[in-house]
Structure 1
Amino acid sequence: MNKIAEVTLESIFAFIALFVLARLMGKRQIAQLSFFDYVTGITLGSIAASLSLDEVKLIQALISLIIWSGSTMFLSWLELKSYKIRVLMDGTAVVVVQNGEILERNLKKVKLTIDEMMQFLRDKNIFKLSDVEFAIFENSGHLTVLKKSELQPLTPKDAGIPVVSEHAPKLLIIDGHVMEQSLQDIGYSKEWLIGEVMKQGGVDFRDVFLAQIDSNGNLYVDLYRDKLKQPQIKQKALLAALLKKIQADFESFALQTENRSAKASYTEMREQLNKLVQTMLPYLKD
């Protein structure tokens, strides 16, 4: 085997081995990168590079990769099991400001200068130490700050204002395609949706790039740019869509209620509206 083919095969093997070992070590080592994890990552990369280019035997490189990655996983497991090991490896969070006063001893303990701390505070739009109730230097190297109570923003709870709980917005149309399940989850019909699209200047679902509804029922419709140049849909077409939407709502109400009297009333109103729509529809066409 020539040298180019050998380097190619060894590089592919090194890449696959690193990928597999990284997946085995999990996201924690990647998301919460400590100094030890940083050193370990460099070492694993160096071993893989040596396998690709240097005169290192395959079995030797594989054993070294397994030992380094296995040791990292073992230490992570120990940290989960033992608080003392966790403190030894990662340290603990330290309070550096309390009630607007700097704790100089703690500041020296975490090797943080005043200039660095003030920069951390400015990053959080805090320019006066007197505004700080607590500032904690976390293990991750970030500064967590709690402002004094009188300086914190007023919330609806503080003002005694009731608020409605929100749920995640739902996408109803993506690239001209209606998300049937999302529409069914919120209890709306296609007639209602096309009516809302027409109010925004569209004619068909295919005119819509994206449509999203929030927990308060507000619908956002984004039409394709070439559709924005079209004139707004006429009022007659809007009225026709609205009547169909009301008709679909009556049908939905009839299916949802368990009250026989209400079910019969909804069904009767739907049939009457259906007759009205059939009568008026020829006059509502442009």
Structure 2
Amino acid sequence: MATTPEVLYQSLFAFVVLFILARIMGKRQVAQLNFFDYIAGITIGNIAASWSLDEIRDLHAIIALLIWTALSLIMSWLQRKSHRARLLIDGRPTVLIRNGNVLDGNLKKAKLDIDEMMLLLRTKNAFKLADVEFAILETNGTLNVMRKSDVEPLTPKAAGIPVLSEREPRVLIVDGNVMEQSLDRSGYTKEWLYGEILKQGAKRFEDVFLAQVDSNGSLYVDLYSDPQKEPQVKEKPLQAASLKKIQADLENFALETKNPEAKALYTTCSQQLQEVIEKVGPYLKG
């Protein structure tokens, strides 16, 4: 039976050996973890398993577990605090493809063959080497790929097409309850929300399990039960809700524009429409 000093010495020695072996084995990806962290975790688990099977003494198991855990935490701290420590522990990223050319020497250093590199490329939807301008193997084993410009998907920016900026989608109804604060922040009213859920088959807010609005004003509605037939939507509440939506949109436009003249115009139109809504509102109920 090993003595306590022997367990201390053996744990320290095994930790160093395991680190060296992990560096030698290279940057193979293991569930997005640093490879050494992965095998250190396995080792800690094996110590705990041996302890639970009474293969080692309690004191020795506790010492070994504490040492492995402490050393792993120390290495993690060093990685965060020191650039040199990160280079020593993790190494450097390895360029596998540069200017469309596969770097054979770097491929060997990374201990990858062509088939493994192609597999990593396919995970990035890069099936043709001819389409790849640059590829780099990160220190955690993931491969990042930059495609050649002429095979990149055409974006609105590249085509010079102006698009509206996206904003955070907001959940407006959960379990039949209207999220008042979220509704206020989205710039819409309860009347608008009620009109929108009527269009999608709900008769009241309590019929809605979930509702979410995107930055374009499109409302996704999930009902507790799918309607079996087309709902009989009342036209008057819908018209009132539509007017409220237009009025809310005008207010949003006034807040978002930086043009003083446009801001004043949107504000005036919103106020005038609000007056119209107050006058015709009683006729659009029920």
In the alignment, is residue 183 of structure 1 matched against residue 189 of structure 2? no
CA distance in 1 between partners of 2:172 and 2:155 (Å): 31
TM norm structure 1: 0.73
Q: Counterparts of 1:260-279 in structure 2 under 5 Å?
A: 266=271, 270=274, 273-278=277-282
What is the RMSD computed on CA atoms of the aligned residues?
3.1
Deviation at 1:73, TM superposition (A): 0.8
CA contact (8 A) 2:171 2:182 kept: yes
From the superposition, tell whether residues 177 and 155 of structure 1 become closer, same or farther in structure 2 (CA, over 3 Å): same
2:38 corresponds to: 38
CA distance in 2 between partners of 1:82 and 1:32 (Å): 22
SS of equivalent to 1:166: coil
CA distance in 1 between partners of 2:155 and 2:273 (Å): 45
From the superposition, tell whether residues 123 and 247 of structure 1 become closer, same or farther in structure 2 (CA, over 3 Å): closer
1:67 corresponds to: 67
Residues 134-167 of structure 1, C-alpha deviation per residue, up to 9 Å, x if partnerless?
1111212122111111111222221222222212
From the superposition, tell whether residues 74 and 238 of structure 1 become closer, same or farther in structure 2 (CA, over 3 Å): same
2:198 corresponds to: 198
SS of equivalent to 1:164: coil
Q: What is the count of residue pairs matched by the alignment?
A: 244
CA distance in 1 between partners of 2:49 and 2:231 (Å): 62
SS of equivalent to 1:220: strand
CA contact (8 A) 1:172 1:212 kept: yes
CA contact (8 A) 2:240 2:277 kept: no
Unpaired runs of 5+ residues, structure 1, are 1-29
From the superposition, tell whether residues 45 and 145 of structure 1 become closer, same or farther in structure 2 (CA, over 3 Å): same
Higher RCO (CA < 8 A, seq sep 6+): 2
Moved over 6 A (4+): none
User: Could you tell me which amino acid in structure 2 is paired with residue 41 of structure 1?
Assistant: G
In the alignment, is residue 137 of structure 1 matched against residue 141 of structure 2? no
Deviation at 1:230, TM superposition (A): 5.7
From the superposition, tell whether residues 230 and 98 of structure 1 become closer, same or farther in structure 2 (CA, over 3 Å): same
2:261 corresponds to: none
CA distance in 1 between partners of 2:248 and 2:34 (Å): 57
From the superposition, tell whether residues 127 and 46 of structure 1 become closer, same or farther in structure 2 (CA, over 3 Å): closer
From the superposition, tell whether residues 237 and 273 of structure 1 become closer, same or farther in structure 2 (CA, over 3 Å): closer
CA contact (8 A) 1:95 1:103 kept: yes
2:81 corresponds to: 81
CA distance in 2 between partners of 1:249 and 1:111 (Å): 60
User: Could you tell me which amino acid in structure 1 is paired with residue 138 of structure 2?
Assistant: E
CA contact (8 A) 1:50 1:56 kept: yes
CA distance in 1 between partners of 2:84 and 2:50 (Å): 36
From the superposition, tell whether residues 109 and 192 of structure 1 become closer, same or farther in structure 2 (CA, over 3 Å): same
1:161 corresponds to: 161
CA contact (8 A) 2:124 2:144 kept: no
CA distance in 1 between partners of 2:276 and 2:142 (Å): 66
CA contact (8 A) 1:96 1:135 kept: yes
Residues 32-81 of structure 1, C-alpha deviation per residue, up to 9 Å, x if partnerless?
52222122211222232333331655444333322211111111111222
1:48 corresponds to: 48
Identical amino acids, percent of aligned pairs:
55
TM norm structure 2: 0.73
Which stretch shows the higher mean deviation, 151-160 or 233-242?
233-242
1:128 corresponds to: 128
CA contact (8 A) 1:210 1:223 kept: yes
Residues 218-248 of structure 1, C-alpha deviation per residue, up to 9 Å, x if partnerless?
21222222445462323244335556x3798
SS of equivalent to 2:231: coil
Unpaired runs of 5+ residues, structure 2, are 1-29, 256-263
From the superposition, tell whether residues 201 and 242 of structure 1 become closer, same or farther in structure 2 (CA, over 3 Å): same
SS of equivalent to 1:238: helix
CA distance in 2 between partners of 1:109 and 1:50 (Å): 36
